[in-house]
Amino acid sequence: MGLVSGVWSLNPRVRKVLYVVGWYLVYPQLWYLWLIPELFTSPDYRLMLAAIVTSYVIGALDTYFRPFSESIKGDLETNPTYNLLMLGLFLLNPLFVVAAFKEGPAMALLLPFWGSPLVSLAGVALLAVGGAVTVAGRAQLARYGSGVLHIEEGQRLVTTGVYGVIRHPIYGGGLIGVVGLYAAFRSLFTLVAVTALYFILIRHRLLFEERMLVDEFGDEYREYIQKTRRLIPYVY
């Protein structure tokens, strides 16, 4: 706890840099270099590597716009089930990517069209779109987008921009990004399984959040609900 407290006492900008370096540039790379080193050396996997790099750029931009909470304890106490399970998924994410990488060749034998580089290209494009939606949502929330579920003094309901299309663009963009990432690796079973896991957790989170927002904003938020969908325009 001493090390964690020491890091948390650093300047927020320094913490963000350490977060990006540790979470995106060190932790997953150790898994990839150990289990799938060919990802970095073979030209056959350039689009997959592009998807990894794209996900890191998205993560860095999201971190730039997201204010860090000043309390780890506060983060965990706000809907702790979601936070702990989501942390577990994030820690396992490099292994999911490894599984997708290993699954790709077998899936190409079952569904030849799925082994096309065009699938990977479409996945990278989808990942970029999802990332743009997430970052736009985070940027619009500005100092209120820390990820900790509480209403700050003076906070107003945001209903314009990307929030005028869907109520939860950060979550929706994240789900689009998950589909794009695993499509880039030409997996199918891993794609469906991981997307389902994230959807279940995100739905739990957004229902919790919507109850909180109804309590705070009342009819204003109820009217907003009538005009928008949660994650996918015109669908859900």
Model confidence pLDDT, tens digit, residues 114-168: 889 999 999 999 999 999 999 999 999 876 666 666 666 667 888 889 999 999 9
Best-predicted range by mean pLDDT (14-18, 84-88, 179-183): 179-183
- Is the domain spanning 2-227 CATH 1.20.120.1630? The answer is yes
Model confidence pLDDT, tens digit, residues 57-93: 999 998 888 876 544 555 556 667 777 888 888 899 9
Domain spans, the chain: 2-227
Whole-angstrom distance, CA of residue 141 vs CA of residue 156: 10
Whole-angstrom distance, CA of residue 217 vs CA of residue 118: 45
> What's the token pair of residue 54?
């794209």
Return the closest-CA partner of residue 120 out of 110, 108, 132: 108
